[in-house]
Amino acid sequence: MPDKDEWTPERIKLLRKSLGMSQADFGQEIWDASPATAQKNVSRLETGEVSTSAAVRRALQRMDKALRESTLPPFELRLKMEEREDAEVEGAPLLRYMLTLEGSEYDE
């Protein structure tokens, strides 16, 4: 495991993916730049073409800390079957499968 202050290309990419962000969105959290420029900068960091500056390391540390201290509520992924009255396959009702997220943050 790398030192917590060492920002390797692999660790940067892992952080971005753990946050569920595109390169452009991730880059815009670091720099005040257009989406295209932000994406290019992140790509260069993730391939090792450039190394991190002190300002970039601080931004990465801030995002890493926020991810580790996240208090997002847990959610449950459930498969729900519904019987549809309006469709039949050879005399049997057609079942429709739906994935739903349940939890206080996801209920509508």
Walk me through the domains of the chain, giving residue ranges and CATH numbers: 9-68 (1.10.260), 74-108 (no CATH)
Cα–Cα dist 108/94, whole Å: 26
- Token duo for residue 29: 């959290």
Q: Provide φ and ψ at 87, rounded to 5°.
A: -140, 140
Indicate the pLDDT class of residue 106, thresholds 50, 70 and 90: very low
Tens-digit pLDDT profile for residues 16-31: 998 889 999 999 999 9
Tens-digit pLDDT profile for residues 29-40: 999 999 999 999
Q: CB of 43 within 8 A of CB of 69?
A: no
Give the CA angle between residues 34, 39, 40 to the nearest 5°.
100
Amino acid at 72: L
